[in-house]
Amino acid sequence: MLSSVEGFKSVVLDQLGEGVIVADADGRIISVNRAAEEIHGRANLDVPPDAYSKNCELLTMDNLPYPPDELPLARAVQRGESVVEAPWKIRRPDGTVVIAVGTARPVRNAAGMQIGAVLTMRDDTLRVRAELALVEALEMKDTLLFEVNHRVRNSLQIVSSIVSLPLRRVEDEIARETLSLTQQRIEVISATHRSLYELGKHDEVDCLALLPDLCKAVVETYSVREAIELVCETRGEIVLPVGKAVSVCLAVTELITNACKFAFKGRDQGWIRLLLDGSADRVLIEVEDDGVGMPEQSEADTARGIGMILINSLSKSLAAEISIATGASGTRFSISFDKPGPTPDLSHALVVNRRNKGL
């Protein structure tokens, strides 16, 4: 009767999709189902406990021989530990390598005495390799996008150089200024793409690191005629997708340019304050000056200016709220918008990639 029951149990275990290995209290393997044999590529796993790792060619995920005492089943037998979802590698007799993931637990009788241990395991090779292929594809995409951004930046620098060529020959002041502002806007876009390398990403820009330098360059250009002081205040962080960062940088540098050109008419000095506040869920950007204030203009005249076109573009792309306060003591532009959501973190996948380089 006992042998019949044992035979029935053996048949049932062989029907399971997961591998099952049962050891006695001394660590000797007393039962192995068909799935476990298939994972190992061997029909006979009845080996001494201290020879199991070597005879079955078990490896760590770093492709080193697996220490026998650290195997999940050994830990369950010798220390009474439960080891859950532990990975290791198995080199089969035909040379193929399988990634196994298993759970080992001690087995106790009704009195609580440990009488053995059981290990359940599955072949996880296809899933890990699929994950590895995905990570490699993502890495290739990142490499290609960095190359694209590099070429975009180089192309923008060529365009900037082409725009600058006629500046020396153009005598008309309005035409010269138009070309100069066009070159400045191209440089802003180029600098935005350059900053992608500095942040180590291909799709996000650190505006807190980039904008103050861009604005200082604008002020230095106009400070040749007037003594204009730029004060920058930064809080928190403002990291934006590259498309939105370009809109922000263009809009802010345009506001700084307009302040330099128009805020201090009839004066030989003044100050401009730039606030970049990313300390909360909502970003706040302010450009303020102590100039003469903005003259009254019709709404149609204001909307036709390049600066307001860029500001309106920013408002649409970021759903930003924009307010203007102006008077005899100066002008303040306030721009606020919600921070974009975080970029998905692929660090776990990259760890898996590095961990399985030996495949």
The H or E element that residue 90 is part of is strand 83-91
Q: What does the pLDDT look like over 300-349, one tens digit per residue?
A: 445 456 667 777 777 777 888 989 999 888 999 999 999 887 655 444 44
16 pLDDT above the threshold of 80: no
Asked: is 2-123 a CATH 2.60.15.10 domain? The reply is no
How far is residue 91's CA from residue 59's CA, in Å, rounded to a whole number? 8
Q: How far is CA 42 from CA 46, 226, 271, in A?
A: 10, 85, 80
Q: What residue spans define the domains of the chain?
A: 2-123, 125-203
* End-to-end CA, the chain: 48
pLDDT of residue 129: 84
Of 200-204, 258-262, 335-339, 348-352, minimum mean pLDDT range: 348-352
Cut 0.75: pTM above it: no
How far is residue 226's CA from residue 175's CA, in Å, rounded to a whole number? 22
- 149: burial class by Cβ within 10 Å (0-12, 13-18, 19+)? buried
